[in-house]
Amino acid sequence: MAVSLRDSLHLVSDPRNLDASVEEVFQMMLGVTCQRRTEPAPSEPESVTAVIGFCGLLTGACVFRAGRTVAMRMAALMSGMEFDSVDDIVKDAIGEICNIMAGAWKGKVPDLAANCGLSIPAVITGSDYRLHVLAPKFRLNHIYSFEDTAFDVTIVCDSLQ
């Protein structure tokens, strides 16, 4: 029988899965405690955004966005190097962390893990840009903090089969 996720929308869109995934990834890959918070992340003139596309039974994207200083701090924790600009290594680190978060998130629902693929990360830097998706099936947008910094993660699903 063909697998369908249509009846599992409540499982796939459970916000606790995203929180658990982000916390787990930060603890294991960066060695820091990260928690969800309600206050918006402080805005920085320049931000770094990584996007991982989902394909298969669920289509959509996992989007990670942080200010440049947060992105550089994360890259430093991951690589053991110090950064004073958003260079290719910082972009690589942010793309990879978004990739791992997307994988951890889909892994929380077994049928999603087995029937949904991930794209290669795309990383965008700049200022004053927004993500627009027409009529998504569901959207989760959470803000998290670690040390004294904050960032946000969005899961947007535009179709579920």
Site residues for other proteins per CB under 8 A: 24-25, 27-29, 75, 78-80, 89, 92-93, 95-96, 99-100, 102-104, 106-107, 110, 113-114, 118, 120
For residue 161, the minimal CB distance to other proteins (Å) is 17
Closest to other proteins by CB, 45 vs 80, is 80
For residue 140, the minimal CB distance to other proteins (Å) is 19
What are the start-end ranges of the H helices in 27-134?
68-79, 88-107, 110-115
For residue 25, the minimal CB distance to other proteins (Å) is 5
- Distance, in Å, from the CA atom of 78 to the CA atom of 159, rounded to the nearest integer, reads 33
Strand partners, 160: 58
- Distance, in Å, from the CA atom of 23 to the CA atom of 15, rounded to the nearest integer, reads 13
SS3 137: coil
Closest to other proteins by CB, 105 vs 150, is 105
For residue 134, the minimal CB distance to other proteins (Å) is 28
Q: What is the DSSP letter of 43?
A: P
For residue 114, the minimal CB distance to other proteins (Å) is 4
Per the CB < 8 A criterion, the answer to whether 63 and 95 are in contact is no
Per the CB < 8 A criterion, the answer to whether 72 and 90 are in contact is yes
Closest to other proteins by CB, 77 vs 156, is 77
- Distance, in Å, from the CA atom of 51 to the CA atom of 4, rounded to the nearest integer, reads 25
Closest to other proteins by CB, 8 vs 99, is 99
Closest to other proteins by CB, 2 vs 120, is 120
